[in-house]
Structure 1
């Protein structure tokens, strides 16, 4: 009687690796990112329907937000996790002040209204001084956005408002110390992927990114109510 050979075991089905954390962050915040980009104020701004007073008002809000962010960054510079994301290459406050000086004659926001929505945003950023992962969430939301769509927005605003590309009035959008933004962003995302946060902590970071986008959108909505035609 012929022997019966045991069948060869079937290979295990390939297991899809979990997506990197940076991809999860990008995907889960995509809808809010698009909502901010498509807000009434941003649309009016890019189409030249916001006068210079409204443009200056937006810059004043930027100063308040980035002063909070960069103040916390300085506090957390030596943190083993958050400190890995702090970089002088990203610092925006001097550029914002230069834009204000060009447009108003003063590098400060004194005399310019800081909106309630802006105060809430800045307070939320400062509240993360004792939660480094939460600070990273806000750092990621602001600076990765600045290095992505922000560069294109700066070019449009220079044309709309008659500024030299990357010059006075739109220096906020120019990263002189980052000659290759795509490479910088790839490295930043790799650092995000390497942080050994637990699943629960990663979920908290995602939630804080969503909060950051919501707060930013609230600023645009409040700006639109004052500075957009028909707003």
Structure 2
């Protein structure tokens, strides 16, 4: 049996994060939003939490971008900060805004900032966020449009990538070719699981704050 110790990095990342991934995507806040039982305000709150996370992630990637352990997976087409800012401005113009930033976001941001000096860990965070946006993020966009009639303010989920399936396959191949030591690999796997845990905690914090 292939284990996470011997599997290609892309498979190891997928397999080692399955439990944390399932826990995050089954949080009440996100399942309510996806089923149509939430509100557009809940979407706006989620976008608001995402902004400082992506600002920190993309700053860390720029800071560590010359490191050969990371460089091959970096792509400015993946950057989400400007799209998030634009979406929040669009929603604000329609009378929807969120001033709440939950505690888990601050923890997440601090950990991402620390990754500027830890490119191997940054790999795991990069994988979770961007491959998630290219996969599950597209489902969120579809369901939000279907349930809440939202058409504007969703550019966060839109990429200038013609063939996402091909792109994701190429991204996984680039992951597998990264020049990592065993300790680098372990750091990437641990960070990916941690990223899902932090996302889950954001959903829990939003729930606790009464955001629907």
Distance across 2 between alignment mates of 1:67 and 1:137: 17
Which residue does 1:104 correspond to in 2? 92
Which residue does 2:27 correspond to in 1? 39
CA deviation vs aligned residue, 1:147-187 (integer Å, no higher than 9, x gap):
111111111112222122xxx22111111x11111111111
1:205-224 equivalences under 5 Å are 205-224=188-207
Which residue does 1:135 correspond to in 2? 122
Deviation at 1:215, TM superposition (A): 0.7
Distance across 2 between alignment mates of 1:195 and 1:34: 27
Deviation at 1:16, TM superposition (A): 7.4
Which residue does 1:59 correspond to in 2? 47
For structure 2, list consecutive stretches of 5 or more residues without a partner in the other structure.
none
More displaced 10-residue stretch of structure 1: 200-209 or 123-132: 200-209
1:172 corresponds to which of 153, 156, 165:
156
CA deviation vs aligned residue, 1:179-218 (integer Å, no higher than 9, x gap):
1111111111111111121223212211111111111100
Is this contact kept in 2: 1:85–1:188, CA < 8 A?
yes
Higher helix share: 2
Deviation at 1:76, TM superposition (A): 2.1
> Does residue 100 of structure 2 align to residue 113 of structure 1?
yes
Deviation at 1:75, TM superposition (A): 1.5
Is this contact kept in 2: 1:44–1:228, CA < 8 A?
no
Distance across 1 between alignment mates of 2:7 and 2:65: 28
Go from structure 1 to structure 2 and tell me whether the alpha carbon gap of 1:58 and 1:42 turns closer, same or farther (over 3 Å shift).
same
Structure ranking higher on relative contact order (CA contacts 8 Å, 6+ apart): 2
More displaced 10-residue stretch of structure 1: 74-83 or 151-160: 74-83
Distance across 2 between alignment mates of 1:71 and 1:16: 35
Larger Rg: 1
Is this contact kept in 2: 1:54–1:227, CA < 8 A?
no
Is this contact kept in 1: 2:69–2:180, CA < 8 A?
no
Deviation at 1:55, TM superposition (A): 2.1
Which residue does 1:122 correspond to in 2? 109
Distance across 2 between alignment mates of 1:52 and 1:63: 17
Is this contact kept in 1: 2:80–2:156, CA < 8 A?
yes
